[in-house]
Amino acid sequence: MASRWWRWRRGCSWRPVARSPGPGSPGRAGPSGPSAAADVRAQVRLGGIPYINLVKHLTSACPNVCRISRFHHTTPDSKTHSGEKYADPFKLGWRDLKGLYEDIRKELLISTSELKEMSEYYFDGKGKAFRPIIVALMARACNIHHNNSRHVQASQRTIALIAEMIHTASLVHDDVIDDASSRRGKHTVNKIWGEKKAVLAGDLILSAASIALARIGNTTVISILTQVIEDLVRGEFLQLGSKENENERFAHYLEKTFKKTASLIANSCKAVSVLGCPDPVVHEIAYQYGKNVGIAFQLIDDVLDFTSCSDQMGKPTSADLKLGLATGPVLFACQQFPEMNAMIMRRFSLPGDVDRARQYVLQSDGVQQTTYLAQQYCHEAIREISKLRPSPERDALIQLSEIVLTREK
């Protein structure tokens, strides 16, 4: 049982417990180490290995993989790769985001008091501002890489505002679709003002973001961020459907995860790189970093739905099961408890399905497997961003990858 391989240490991510495989066991057979893992990832990309078996193959290929912080080495005097003293990534990013929410509210030029209150409801400064922080850090990292400029352009800062506005609009719309009653520890827009008005409030935030985007005047950037809105819609449609085939189901889940969560981060990072650097290679680095961190972020979010309490999350836990959604922990647990397949196909709609599915997940290694998969995505994000010239911002982006894995809400 894979679950015996893992132990939990506070403040760390999941890590495998060293063991001595017997003759003929998976740990003995075949190649081992990073090259084997690379071969496995290549086969997955080519369709040679089912998605659902990805983590099990990676685990046997790299039995001694440790937590993601091993990939980020700091010098003994706590300095970054660039040699400058390390700062908290959120504090480092926030210096370019002072007045963020005030500036967003200025974009929401609304005469109707009720619509104004609804549209500004989530812009109360109590969110994590995770996306704007990443965008601001990426802007500086790309500018420094290109011409050693420490100046963040006004247009790059605007991308950070737009990213937060698109994200917030998607939350308002998602809460309507999910009939959610709480978000960030308070009542949702749809519960206070009703579903119809909530939809209109989300639309208004998107329109304000579109106007701000048009003002930048860069057609390439406009095209990049317009793709985000399309992906959000397509991702929501993917979430409404399900796949009978086990392997298609996992691919479906990862595609939905990219479109609903990672696309915004990936394309926002790419947008600021386009504004700050003409090199297409840098644009791809920024995109790949955002994509991998974004997918890892959602994988951990899906884990926390099973491991955190409602007070920590600011929303009810087991929410995905109640919505009929089979996330990573469920799909991995299904390998050990095949009886979950029927529950997945009926979207946990029968009495007792949600509680039984939750117990199956907690009895399986689904949480560990999903966490380990998130580590792989963060490792890839670090590999990409490390191609940029050393800077405090680049190292802060590396550190953010670890924060994604160890967060509790």
Report the distance separating Cα 277 and Cα 374, nearest Å: 29
Q: Which of 64-78, 231-245, 287-301 has the highest mean pLDDT?
A: 287-301
| Least confident piece of the model among 67-81, 147-161, 167-181 | 67-81
Q: Is the pLDDT of residue 403 over 60?
A: yes
For 45-67, the pLDDT digits (tens) are 433 445 555 554 444 444 333 33
The reply to whether 373 falls in a domain is yes
Average of per-residue pLDDT across 284-298: 98
Instruction: Return the pLDDT at 128.
Output: 83
315 band by pLDDT with thresholds 50, 70 and 90? low
| Least confident piece of the model among 292-296, 310-314, 364-368 | 310-314
Q: Is the pLDDT of residue 74 over 70?
A: no
Average of per-residue pLDDT across 170-198: 94
Secondary structure class of 128 (helix, strand, coil): coil
Q: Is the pLDDT of residue 29 over 70?
A: no
The reply to whether 178 falls in a domain is yes
Per the structure, the count of domains in the chain is 1
Average of per-residue pLDDT across 162-171: 97
The reply to whether 331 falls in a domain is yes
Average of per-residue pLDDT across 298-325: 82
Instruction: Return the pLDDT at 54.
Output: 54
For residue 291, give both structure tokens.
């994509």
Give me the count of residues in the chain: 409
Can you say how many angstroms the Cα of residue 196 is from the centroid of all Cα atoms in its chain?
A: 29
Gap between the terminal Cα atoms of the chain: 29
AA letter at 398: I
Q: Is the pLDDT of residue 409 over 80?
A: no
Percent of all residues in the chain with a pLDDT value above 90, rounded to a whole number: 67
The reply to whether 241 falls in a domain is yes
pLDDT higher for 361 or 37? 361
Instruction: Return the pLDDT at 308.
Output: 84
240 band by pLDDT with thresholds 50, 70 and 90? confident
Strands 6-7 and 15-16: antiparallel
Q: What CATH number corresponds to the domain at position 192?
A: 1.10.600.10
Helix, strand, coil percent content, the chain, rounded in steps of 5: 65, 0, 30
Q: Is the pLDDT of residue 243 over 90?
A: no
Instruction: Return the pLDDT at 12.
Output: 36
The reply to whether 61 falls in a domain is no
Structural contact between residues 246 and 293, judged by C-beta atoms closer than 8 angstroms: no
Average of per-residue pLDDT across 11-17: 34
Report the distance separating Cα 59 and Cα 17, nearest Å: 11
Average of per-residue pLDDT across 229-240: 94
| Least confident piece of the model among 86-90, 186-190, 230-234, 286-290 | 86-90
Average of per-residue pLDDT across 134-159: 96
The reply to whether 120 falls in a domain is yes
Secondary structure class of 292 (helix, strand, coil): helix
The reply to whether 55 falls in a domain is no
Q: Is the pLDDT of residue 130 over 90?
A: yes
The reply to whether 31 falls in a domain is no
Q: Is the pLDDT of residue 270 over 70?
A: yes
Q: Is the pLDDT of residue 378 over 90?
A: yes
The domain in which residue 384 lies consists of: 87-406
Q: What are phi and psi of 319, to 5 degrees?
A: -65, -40
Identify the DSSP state of 390. Answer: P
Q: Is the pLDDT of residue 123 over 50?
A: yes
pLDDT higher for 63 or 250? 250
Q: Is the pLDDT of residue 2 over 50?
A: no
Average of per-residue pLDDT across 162-180: 95
162 band by pLDDT with thresholds 50, 70 and 90? very high
